[in-house]
């Protein structure tokens, strides 16, 4: 199992960042390099508890789909999206938001497991973990820019 943990400090209230983080349109904008689009479930606006979204995007030269569901949500503090169909063996992304004096710490805890045994582990070690980390960092920079310029 692979874990990616990121902390992004944003000079904005957590309720704004929380909503930007679950906004389908913002995600599509931040994932423009992979041409990621919401193709089923919630395809625009804010996703909420128990709702699903299916993404289609180009990663490593292939168009892949990934269906996830919001499995937990504590409004403005925390939410979790988990893969229910896709190319990972398992995939869970926890989003936490802690505000102190108008500055928010956005915490991403992503854990996933690759299929294909040792081949999946090698692919993860040499390519996938870096790709996923950069994907999240790019997304977080977009969220930061949007939140701080509202």
Residue 100 has pLDDT above 90, yes or no: yes
Residue 150 has pLDDT above 90, yes or no: no
| d(C-alpha 124, C-alpha 30), whole Å | 22
In the chain, the percentage of residues whose pLDDT exceeds 90 is 97
| Predicted pLDDT of residue 4 | 98
Taken in order of first residue, the domains within the chain and their CATH numbers are: 2-148 (3.30.530.20)
User: What secondary structure letter does DSSP report for 48?
Assistant: -
| Predicted pLDDT of residue 132 | 97
Give the pTM.
0.95
| Predicted pLDDT of residue 12 | 97
CB 12 within 8 A of CB 124: no
Residue 29 has pLDDT above 90, yes or no: yes
| Predicted pLDDT of residue 55 | 97
| Predicted pLDDT of residue 84 | 98
DSSP H helical segments within 3-116, as ranges? 14-21, 24-30
Token pair recorded at residue 123: 């692919």
Residue 30 has pLDDT above 90, yes or no: yes
Q: Is 101 helix (H, G, I), strand (E, B) or coil?
A: coil
| Predicted pLDDT of residue 68 | 98
Bigger pLDDT: 67 vs 150: 67
């Amino acid at each position: 199992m692979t874990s990616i943990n990121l902390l992004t400090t944003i000079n904005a209230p957590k309720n704004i960042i929380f909503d930007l983080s679950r906004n389908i349109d913002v995600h599509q904008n931040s994932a423009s390099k992979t041409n990621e689009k919401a193709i089923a479930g919630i395809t625009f606006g804010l996703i909420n508890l128990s709702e699903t979204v299916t993404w289609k995007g180009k990663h490593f030269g292939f168009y892949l789909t990934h269906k996830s569901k919001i499995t937990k949500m504590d409004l403005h503090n925390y939410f979790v999206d988990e893969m229910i169909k896709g190319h990972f063996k398992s995939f869970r992304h926890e989003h936490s938001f802690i505000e102190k004096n108008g500055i928010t710490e956005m915490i991403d805890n992503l854990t996933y497991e690759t299929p294909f045994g040792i081949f999946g582990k090698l692919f993860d070690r040499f390519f996938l973990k870096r790709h996923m980390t950069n994907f999240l960092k790019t997304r977080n920079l977009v969220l930061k820019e949007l939140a701080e310029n509202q």
